[in-house]
Amino acid sequence: MARVLVMIPSGEVYDHDNVRWYQYGNVQGNINHYHNIGDAFVFDSSLKLMNYDKLSDLPIVNPKMEYIDRLREEYDYVILRGSNYVHQHMDWSDAIPVLKRLGLPVIAFGIGAQAPVKGQLELSEETKTVLRVIADSTVSVGVRGAYSAQVLGDIGIHNVRIIGCPTAFRRNDPDMRVKLPALDNVRNVGITIRREVSPTYAQNIERYLTFHRDLVKEMASRFDATLMAQGEVEEKKLVFGTDEQKEEAIAALKANQWASDWYLDETVEKLYRERMFYSDVVADYERLVQSKDLVLGYRLHGNLMALANGVPSIYFTYDSRTVEFAETYQIPSFDVFGDKPFRLEDYWDQSLFDKYNRAWYGAYGEMHRFLTENGVDHKMLETGKQAPASVRRVA
């Protein structure tokens, strides 16, 4: 089996292919540190697609080149965890000299670009060089969707395959399908929350937060709801903190003008205190979504974890990244900045999820082909079906 290096991991690995945050048991040590546990979902899911018997991190910060030479002899290839790397602010540290010295294939596992609200996406020469080194090392580069493929094409990288995200396929089951229960039977609902947002990517912060607030309140009034956080400090404190830290968290939210003006009213505060979920262990999220009849909201990977387990999910799109995911998989989605009201009943339509099921099946086949053509020893069963145009290989 393969010997694999991991570039930019996101968490520690235990029990072979499970991921949790570093020193996850040290709650107080991590409680003031923001990290997006969704990145660990992608890392964990990538490992679950592969066969390997040796795994280690590839250092790209102040590495000793003699150590890099050793790694070349001891490992077969590198995986780059899928994430939002293709943007103007990405810092690659010493990745260029390391990858050139290492000389191993670098498997880009669903990387993505994100468009700013205003102007064109400008990539640094460093990012362009890293991407070209990666593309030259493998048969294909795995990207999130059509927009990311276009961005790479604009800098001359055309050996691109649209594969979405490993999280979608973590069960290695090509027969996975989402089937809607009767809406009257829906009881337990997960709401993936993302209070923090950048005006660089979301065009109207007031609309973003007021709609977020109203969605949380509406779903909590109709169902037994769990608010699913993914790393913001205040939300973590409300789950793991002491009584004093919980009050600090509420005070910090009230002192934040965006949150106090547009998000945290009396009802949301009560839900934050009573219904919040957070964990530094990916498996805890998977168990949680498996207990839900529906998961919906603002978190890309929290929603995708539900879909990966056959649980219906609805995306709320607010930037190019969430739109690209919804388009790649044809996920039922609602434009937060559109002019229509959200009605859950409008989305409770099996034909909408059948479109997702078909697109997901095609994307599964693309992921299978991507891993196979790049020589990755993997667990995915072959579908034997041609991918639809929405998930086609980019020539």
Other residues' Cβ atoms within 10 Å of the Cβ of residue 341: 9
| Full residue range of the structural domain in which residue 257 is found | 183-355
Q: What CATH number is associated with residue 123?
A: 3.40.50
> What type of residue is 363?
A
Q: Does 72 share its domain with 200?
A: no
Closest CA to 278 of 34, 73, 64, 104: 34
Predicted pLDDT of residue 88: 82
- Is residue 271 domain-resident? yes
Closest CA to 144 of 284, 42, 59: 42
Number of domains in the chain: 2
Predicted pLDDT of residue 119: 78
Q: Does 148 share its domain with 200?
A: no
3-state secondary structure of 356: helix
Predicted pLDDT of residue 382: 83
Do residues 285 and 228 touch, judged by C-beta distance below 8 A? yes
With a cut of 50, list the residues of the chain below it in pLDDT: 385-395
pTM confidence score: 0.94
Predicted pLDDT of residue 115: 86
- Is residue 178 domain-resident? no
Predicted pLDDT of residue 1: 80
Q: Does 254 share its domain with 128?
A: no
Do residues 391 and 362 touch, judged by C-beta distance below 8 A? yes
Q: Does 87 share its domain with 221?
A: no
Closest CA to 202 of 318, 113, 300: 318
Q: Does 196 share its domain with 165?
A: no
Closest CA to 354 of 329, 386, 317, 383: 329
Q: What is the DSSP letter of 53?
A: E
